[in-house]
Amino acid sequence: MPILAERPELRAFVERGRVVRMPSEPRLLEQLYRVLAEIVEAGTELTEDEVNRAIVVVHDDPAQIRRGLVDRQLLDRSPGTLSYRRSTA
């Protein structure tokens, strides 16, 4: 993910464009999730499967990342429909 290359503080967690480990420091973890949220194009509604396919390109556990994005309110999940949209807040 080219966006990660622009964040020198996150380079230690990325190899060949893929996140290979998650930061333990909360500030860096939050930064990483904010960058990963950019995988979902603003204004685009995606199914859970589409979100997973986008995330698996940069991380081996798309469910972990998807849940983390939702928990941090960086990705909104529509109840009952399993559709996702990047948060505007």
Residue 6 has what pLDDT?
73
Contact 75, 66 (CB under 8 A): yes
Record the pTM.
0.88
- CB-side neighbour CA atoms (13 Å) of 43: 0
CATH classification of 2-86 is 1.10.10, yes or no? yes
The domain limits of the chain are 2-86
Task: Encode pLDDT of 37-88 as tens digits.
Answer: 998 888 889 999 999 999 999 999 999 999 999 999 999 999 887 899 998 7
Residue 83 has what pLDDT?
93
Residue 82 has what pLDDT?
83
**Measured at the alpha carbon of residue 67, what is the angle toward residues 32 and 88, in degrees to the nearest 5?**
65
Residue 4 has what pLDDT?
64
Contact 54, 64 (CB under 8 A): no
